[in-house]
Structure 1
Amino acid sequence: MSHSCPKHLSHLVVTPGTAVDLGAIDPRQVDFLGDEDKVRARLNEDAIAIDRLQDRLYGEGKRALLVVLQGTDTSGKDGTIRGVFNATGPLGVTVTAFKRPSEEELAHDFLWRVHKAAPRRGTIGLFNRSHYEDVLVGRVRNLAPKDVIEARYDQINDFERLLTENGTVILKFMLHISKDEQAERLQERLDDPGKNWKFNAGDLEDRKLWGAYQKAYETALSRCSTTHAPWHIVPADRKWARNAIVAAIVRDTLEAMDPRYPKMPWKPSDFKIV
């Protein structure tokens, strides 16, 4: 395994086998990060470092990194991708936004479309929502029988183990926001004409089921945080802190992977450009 996490962020990792209580985790408590200006500066440094490390990963071409972003509506999945990977070269990064399954996808097992989107060796894959929708929305909205949902937790763990055993390191981030913060962000989408397009009336229906979704997340986090694919609960009410936390963990993990450019069977001095 090549997962790594800065010591001051280690408490954000969900220890495998432990029960999660999201109500006991304050989405605004980020004092452990220190001075905001310094944190923002480090975020920029981390973003540049991630780009450099991704280039080495691409050159090596033997392993991949999968970053899974989950969270309730307005938790900042898009913003995290922009804030953390804005400096990363586009050739080595893929972003997959999982929406409602198509008829073709529904005709296969629930992981079929996810496996197709897994990052190729040498790249970083970003999942904006993921296979966890099938034990979150699927559970809350009763989209499948209870026994089918129940079986999916072990199937997800097996699937993620398959990926890791074949060279893909997995980082999973649950962007944890408060119900009050969500209300402010939804209102902002209504008040700002430039953000009206982001508003979806369906989000209000999901908001009515806030408690059910929180319990569904707690179950998924508890059942599917493993040594090979750990979950991190990121306090996400403050956007700068959210981005800084994800960037620091991604950078640390890439540095632990320590990708190397391949050695060439020739010397540059053997050639002369004329």
Structure 2
Amino acid sequence: MKETHFTSRCKVQDKIVLKELPTEVDLGMTDEKAIKQLAKLRDKLSKFQDKMYAHNRYSVLICIQGMDTSGKDSLIREVFKEFNPRGVVVQSFKTPNSAELEHDYLWRHYIALPERGKFTVFNRTHYENVLVTRVHPEYLLNENLPGIEKVEDVPADFWDKRMQQINNFEGHISENGMIVFKFFLHLSKAEQKKRLFRRLNKDEHNWKFSAADLKERELWDQYEEYYEEAINKTSTEKNPWYVIPADNKALSRLMLAGILWEELQKYTDIKQGELEAGMEENIELYKEQLRND
């Protein structure tokens, strides 16, 4: 696996047009080989987390966005299942509850950030506040924002300001030891249709289907437009976006894990934990004490 191979394929460095980016990719391998490669990366990432925990200077935030059925849940399960359960937390953000609505829109995300030494995965993220809320601006009224009594009161520059606030938020946390990854799982509309049919046709997947999925699918073009704008306006040098082709689940999981591994290797100051001063010369003594216990 070449160094930065996946990063160079997926990293957003210039303005993008989502319709021009692939939702499928040929990595020259079968799904079976991709699954084996993922298992190796999973093990490496798990060991890195152990080392990062001992180092106690950094944490990792992984933000995953994508259209419905893009494979977020299964990707998280497959990429992180070898981690120490205490080393990774998954946060899934649904419709804000009444307590969360008593704070600004970033509050519930801020309090869910990872502790030093740990990974946190945001399954849907703070970007919902410039995506779902933008497609359905009536949701803004629940936030009780000053000067906004109805949708028509939303200023023309509201969304640009909100995206700049998100940039500031991410800049702040990254400057204080948090490594931020932002992934968009880029699914085709045709593949989403197949996956929705699969949910309806398989008894074990019926529970995942909601009539609301079809209503949101009708708004595909709006979502794509707002995703594209959000990615272009919030992909920064420090905290870039990665657009992952998502029509093939095995390959999308491998690519995301590969990017994590490639980028985390750049943090060469993260070292394995060391014994406290004076411990090394006494190891044999401690062993002897245990033998005689």
Q: TM-score, normalised by structure 1?
A: 0.93
Q: 8 Å contact 2:6–2:255 — kept in the other structure?
A: no
1:1-274 pair list within 5 angstroms: 6-15=4-13, 18-28=14-24, 30-31=25-26, 33-36=27-30, 37-142=32-137, 143-144=139-140, 145=154, 146-258=156-268, 259-263=270-274, 264-265=276-277, 266-267=279-280, 268-272=283-287, 273=290, 274=293
Query: C-alpha deviations, 1:18-38, integer Å up to 9, x for none?
Result: 32211111202x12x221243
1:215 positional shift: 0.2
Query: C-alpha deviations, 1:124-148, integer Å up to 9, x for none?
Result: 0100000000000111111332533
Q: Which has the higher contact order (CA 8 A, sep 6+)?
A: 1
Structure whose CA Rg is larger:
2
Matched letter for residue 7 of structure 1: H
Q: Percent identity?
A: 38
In structure 2, distance between residues paired with 1:178 and 1:49? 31
Q: 8 Å contact 1:138–1:149 — kept in the other structure?
A: no
Q: CA-atom RMSD, angstroms?
A: 1.4
1:11 positional shift: 2.8
Q: 8 Å contact 1:65–1:170 — kept in the other structure?
A: yes
Q: 8 Å contact 1:53–1:255 — kept in the other structure?
A: no
In structure 2, distance between residues paired with 1:175 and 1:235? 6
In structure 1, distance between residues paired with 2:96 and 2:45? 32
What are the ranges of 5 or more consecutive residues in structure 2 without an aligned counterpart? Answer: 141-153
- Displaced runs of 4 or more, over 6 A: none
In structure 2, distance between residues paired with 1:105 and 1:148? 21
In structure 1, distance between residues paired with 2:98 and 2:7? 41
Q: 8 Å contact 2:200–2:206 — kept in the other structure?
A: yes
In structure 1, distance between residues paired with 2:271 and 2:195? 42
Query: C-alpha deviations, 1:118-177, integer Å up to 9, x for none?
Result: 111000010000000000011111133253322111000000011101100001100000
1:262 positional shift: 2.7
Matched letter for residue 14 of structure 1: V
